[in-house]
Chains A and B, each alone.
Chain A
Amino acid sequence: MRPDFWPALRSPIPWALLALAATMPFLLPNYYLHILTITLVYAALASAWNIVGGIAGQISLAHSLFVGAGAMLASALLVKLGINMWLGMIIAAAASAAMGAAVSFIDYRFRLGHLSFALITMAFAEMAEIYVTNTEFLGGASGLFLPKDKGDLLAFQFGGINGVYWIMLGMAAACVAVNFAILSSPLGYNLRSIRDNENAAQAIGVGLLRNKTLAMTISAVLTSIIGTIYARYLAFVDPYLLVSPVLTIEIVLFATVGGLGTALGPALGAFILAPLGEILRGHLGGFLPGLHYFVYGLVVVGVILLMPAGVWPSLRDRVLRKPAAAGN
């Protein structure tokens, strides 16, 4: 049985964990706090992707579009037009929602199979990178520099790493909570029925367009907001990092390793892989570039062969000594 959303929200455990996590800036040196912040970014991104890719089973490779919109568009609005980044974040989120809805509509209208959906979204991602790196307004190939972070909350400045860490912690927690909420709501049941058999779901009256669009829009908005915060944290907004299809591949990889379609799995996947990658890159990147991606590759191949459902479902079943419920 899946824990219901409201009891889980009332239970003290998640809140205690959250409070503990919130004290980290006082305990950890900056280097490790930076790694933790990056990890939270990826945990949030993987959780947001999971709504579409895991729960609804739609292999979207277009999420770099939404991260890119959140990061590049909000930054460009600030740097080029002087629009407040909070407003920019909302505009970017709205743009992402529109793009997400358009992708879902195309998917619905042309009844794309899983493979076609993956390929088309990948083409969109490639096109987005080409478009952004060639568009002067969005920073072109050289990217954008955001003004210095002076800690002015009204201007979307969080006063250095501590502030960003707290914001990202809240964001990651929110993404996981949204996953929980969707899983225990009618939307979650609809999405899972679509994932398991689209035609059967439609036959029993699950609206494909409505549910898919809703899932994609929620995911796109969350992803876009994370993108804006990440851009603010990085201060240098690099299209080859933030609009790159490689970013999507990383997100999908973390979610798969952690456990697709579960509320906690994708975040767990990010917590396993992102720090590992950062530390490997930090310590060995100098003389062995590419090592951390190589290790990612090993981990993903190993996890898929040894625990195809992902790390979190395997752990949970081992601890609870229950047979794996299919796909939960």
Chain B
Amino acid sequence: MRWTNFSRRSCRGFFVGSAYGLLALGMGLVYGVSGIVNFAHGDFVSLGMYLCFALFTAFALDPYVSVIFTVPIMIALGALVYRFLIKPIAGRQLLMVIQLTLGVALLIQNGLMMAFGGQPTRAPSMIESKLFLVGDVVIRGAHLVACIVSFALAILLYVMLQSTDTGRAIRAVQQEPRAAALMGVDVGRVQVMTFAIGVGLLAIAAALLLPGLPIQPTQGLRFTVITLLVFVLGGMTNFVAIMLGGIVIGVAEAIGTIYMTHTLGQLLPYLIFVAIMLFRPQGLVWRS
């Protein structure tokens, strides 16, 4: 019985963790290209969820379907935010950029609060109640979808970075912006684009995390923190390690609460984070 509980928990942690990995991929991409850590990251996730929620209440769209609409909206929003808010101060003091993104976080969070109210709500999906049985482990459909889509997107992103011109431009800017500019890469455009892609990924991640999860406008900071944990665990720019980091955090979160006291279980992801930050600042994996 205990064993079943353990495997169910770790499965759930694994699936949710892969979505966390997807969240952190967006952050890693932006950090690599622009050197920016976006503290409004989690609030963009919130925004994505509330867009799905709005589409659900207005047209009864399933969150997975509404992705068709939320992704372009979020990509456009990301491009605008980068072009008009972040770009003017990029390269200045780090604190300024952090403050600015915190300001954006306040705007999104409280904009949502004003539009939708502070009560927790849900946007149900058709497959939310679907369950699969593997051995004696029950797997929820939404978690399975989250896991498959996350890995598919991660692989797609990886292929895109490796073997398209856009991807090469992004990697060039990541390695050496000045040299990239000399080779004719429009660095500014690449930065806007990666930020927009990063935010677009969040729209998808939002839909993946949404089924079964009560949402609240104030949840953004929590997602930001989870993303930061994964991001650091993955050594900030290493894609494979970031996905791995997501799974580590997801499993730690899921298992921590059954094997340790309640407090320690909640603290576990942060303890891992601090330990990694101090002893392995390059992340869990040696080489990319």
| A positions within 8 Å CB-CB of B | 53, 57, 59, 106, 110, 112, 114-116, 118-120, 122-124, 126-127, 130-131, 134-135, 245-246, 249, 252-253, 256, 260, 288-291, 293-294, 296-298, 300-301, 304-305, 308
Contact = CB atoms under 8 A, between A and B. Distances in A.
Interface stretch (B62-70, B110-118, B131-139, B244-252): B110-118
A305 B88 contact: yes
Interface of B: 37, 85, 88-89, 92-96, 98-100, 102-107, 109-114, 117-118, 217, 221, 225, 228-229, 232, 262-263, 266-267, 270-271, 273-274, 277-278, 281
A126 B221 CA distance: 10
Given A114-B94, A123-B274, A297-B107, A253 B114 contact: no
Contacts of B107: 294, 297-298, 301
A110 B95 contact: no
A120 B277 contact: yes
B267 A131 contact: yes
Contacts of A122: 225, 228
What does DSSP make chain A's interface, helix, strand, loop or mixed? helix
Contacts of B221: 245-246
A304 B89 contact: yes
A131 B102 contact: no
B278 to A, nearest CB: 5
B89 A296 contact: no
A297 B114 contact: no
A115 B37 contact: yes
A135 B261 CA distance: 12
Given A122-B225, A256-B95, A289 B118 contact: yes
Given A123-B274, A126-B270, A290-B114, A260 B102 contact: no
Given A116-B281, A300-B99, A130 B266 contact: yes
Given A116-B281, A123-B277, A304-B100, 4 more contacts: A59-B98, A131-B267, A135-B263, A301-B100
A123 B270 contact: yes
A277 B118 CA distance: 18
A12 B281 CA distance: 52
Given A53-B95, A126-B225, A291-B110, A301 B117 contact: no
Contacts of B96: 256, 304, 308
A73 B96 CA distance: 33
Nearest to B105: A297
B225, B232, B270, B274 pick with most chain A CB within 10 angstroms: B270
B99 A253 contact: yes
Given A110-B278, A130-B266, A300-B102, A291 B114 contact: yes
